[in-house]
């Protein structure tokens, strides 16, 4: 009880500072909800739709118009420009007005009727991986469908049944199973990673800010006097209000995905909530470690923001962990987000039994204990000194 009263006093002080300090208020209150709205709106349709594409029709025939209509019918593509020549079309790509340029050559109708092979050129902006890749994928799918139709029709004119013609054209059928993103929905996969990654970034920076600001302005000694030298009381008083707050923000984040956006969820909700709480606690422990080893407030913020941002690359969102060099695979294990993201995917999209997520939970607990243990004595000395080595 004696430790609780100073902790409550510090907690009340921290809540007052939250609403009186612009930087902390923006980090903890404003930005999390801005990012929730932004990412849930960015890919609300699941994948990018109606990407603007230009078509140069040099044939102006019924066949070329049919090709254009089928391209325009593809959900990823919207034919919005008809430049008079190739040069004008390429200029539209350079200006960023279109993501692709399709050129239909002269005499395509006549050549197809005479049995000749024709080439339709597709130019797309590969600098924009998502948009360019989707445009190219949609183009190849449409052209493949048109080619199949022409081939099957030729066989039918020769007396081959429709079913046999289809088998002749495609004797081997591929049965694909997408593992990492089984729904092929960019929103399901990317938002799951991005929203929780930014949540942990705000947790990290807010924790560093609430401790670093006191040390920057030489208030560490004052806090020790309030708690009669108890570092644990200081940590509990300063951290717990943000732990509760960010846990609530995390719940809103999950609701925005699994209720508002109706993302698939097949696993244990309690396991995900336990993982969320541990992610928050682990990042707060890491934040304390960065404060303890830094010479200044600015340095602590640099360490913390860099660590939280890099964690996305080591989590498997952008590149699978098993494809990384062995050293990087081991390095990925020190990031709390790696284990929470694995747990979240296992319990939401994959629907694994809780047993398979125990490893992630245990590692998050271990990372929290190790990081706070490594920072404890350094942090105690820092508060005894009262301030950072450099007042910047």
Reference 9, options 192, 177, 234, 171; nearest CA is: 234
Mean pLDDT throughout 273-283? 96
* Three-state DSSP state, 19: helix
Supply the angle between the helices 62-73 and 129-157 in degrees, to the nearest 10.
130
Domain ranges of the chain: 4-44+185-385, 51-169
Residues 6+ apart with CB under 8 A from 347: 265, 266, 267, 268, 269, 271, 272, 275, 354, 357
* Three-state DSSP state, 247: helix
310 pLDDT above the threshold of 80: yes
Mean pLDDT throughout 77-88? 88
- Separation CA 310–CA 268 (nearest Å): 28
Structure confidence at residue 45 as a pLDDT band (50, 70, 90): low
Highest mean pLDDT among 11-15, 137-141, 179-183, 247-251: 247-251
| CB neighbour burial string for 237-262, b if at least 16 within 10 angstroms, e if fewer | bbbbbbbebbbebbeebbebbbeebe
Structure confidence at residue 146 as a pLDDT band (50, 70, 90): confident
Structure confidence at residue 49 as a pLDDT band (50, 70, 90): confident
pTM for this one? 0.73
Highest mean pLDDT among 35-44, 47-56, 57-66: 57-66
SS3 labels along 307-355:
HHHHCCCCCCCCCCHHHCCHHHHHHHHHCHHHHHHHHHHHHHCCCCCHH
Structure confidence at residue 185 as a pLDDT band (50, 70, 90): low
Give one DSSP letter per residue of 151-166, joined into a string: HHHHHHHTT--HHHHH
Mean pLDDT of the residues in the chain: 86
- Separation CA 111–CA 58 (nearest Å): 14
Residues 6+ apart with CB under 8 A from 313: 319
Question: Which pLDDT score is estimated for 170?
Answer: 74
CA dihedral 384, 390, 391, 392 (to 10 degrees): -140
Please write the tens of the pLDDT for every residue from 343-357: 998 998 888 899 999
For the chain, percent of residues with pLDDT exceeding 90: 34
CATH code, residues 51-169? 3.40.1710.10
Residues 6+ apart with CB under 8 A from 278: 336, 340, 361, 364, 365, 368
**Contact between residue 272 and residue 347 where contact means Cβ atoms under 8 Å apart:** yes
Mean pLDDT throughout 116-128? 83
For residue 194, give the H/E element and its range. helix 192-216
* Three-state DSSP state, 296: coil
Question: Which pLDDT score is estimated for 155?
Answer: 83
């Amino acid at each position: 009880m004696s430790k609780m009263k100073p902790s409550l006093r510090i907690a009340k002080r921290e809540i007052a500072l939250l609403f009186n300090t612009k930087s902390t208020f923006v980090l903890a209150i404003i930005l999390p909800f801005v990012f929730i709205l932004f990412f849930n709106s960015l890919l609300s349709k699941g994948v990018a739709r109606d990407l603007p594409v230009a078509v140069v029709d040099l044939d102006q025939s019924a066949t070329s118009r049919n090709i254009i209509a089928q391209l325009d019918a593809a959900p990823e593509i919207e034919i919005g420009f008809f430049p008079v020549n190739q040069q004008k079309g390429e200029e539209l790509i350079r200006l960023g007005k279109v993501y692709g340029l399709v050129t239909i050559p002269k005499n395509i109708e006549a050549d197809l009727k005479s049995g000749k092979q024709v080439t339709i050129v597709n130019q797309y902006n590969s600098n924009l991986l998502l948009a360019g890749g989707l445009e190219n994928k949609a183009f190849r799918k449409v052209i493949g469908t048109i080619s199949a139709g022409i081939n099957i029709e030729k066989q039918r004119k020769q007396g081959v049944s429709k079913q046999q013609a289809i088998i002749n054209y495609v004797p081997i059928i591929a049965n694909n199973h997408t593992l990492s993103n089984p729904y092929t929905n960019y929103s399901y996969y990317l938002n799951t990673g991005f929203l929780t990654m930014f949540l942990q970034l705000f947790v990290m920076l807010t924790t560093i800010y609430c401790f670093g600001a006191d040390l920057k302005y030489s208030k560490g000694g004052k806090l020790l006097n309030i708690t009669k030298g108890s570092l644990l009381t200081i940590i509990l008083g300063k951290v717990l209000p943000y732990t509760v707050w960010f846990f609530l923000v995390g719940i809103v984040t999950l609701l925005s995905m699994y209720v508002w956006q109706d993302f698939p969820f097949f696993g244990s909700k309690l396991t995900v909530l336990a993982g969320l709480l541990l992610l928050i606690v682990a990042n707060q422990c890491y934040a304390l470690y960065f404060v303890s080893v830094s010479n200044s407030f600015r340095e602590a913020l640099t360490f913390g923001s860099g660590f939280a941002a890099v964690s996305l690359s080591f989590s498997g969102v952008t590149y699978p962990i098993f494809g990384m060099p062995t050293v990087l695979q081991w390095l990925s294990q020190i990031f709390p987000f790696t284990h929470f993201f694995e747990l979240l995917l296992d319990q939401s999209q994959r629907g694994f039994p809780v047993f398979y997520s125990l490893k992630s939970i245990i590692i998050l607990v271990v990372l929290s204990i190790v990081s706070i243990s490594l920072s404890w004595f350094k942090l105690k000395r820092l508060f005894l000194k009262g301030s950072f080595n450099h007042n910047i």
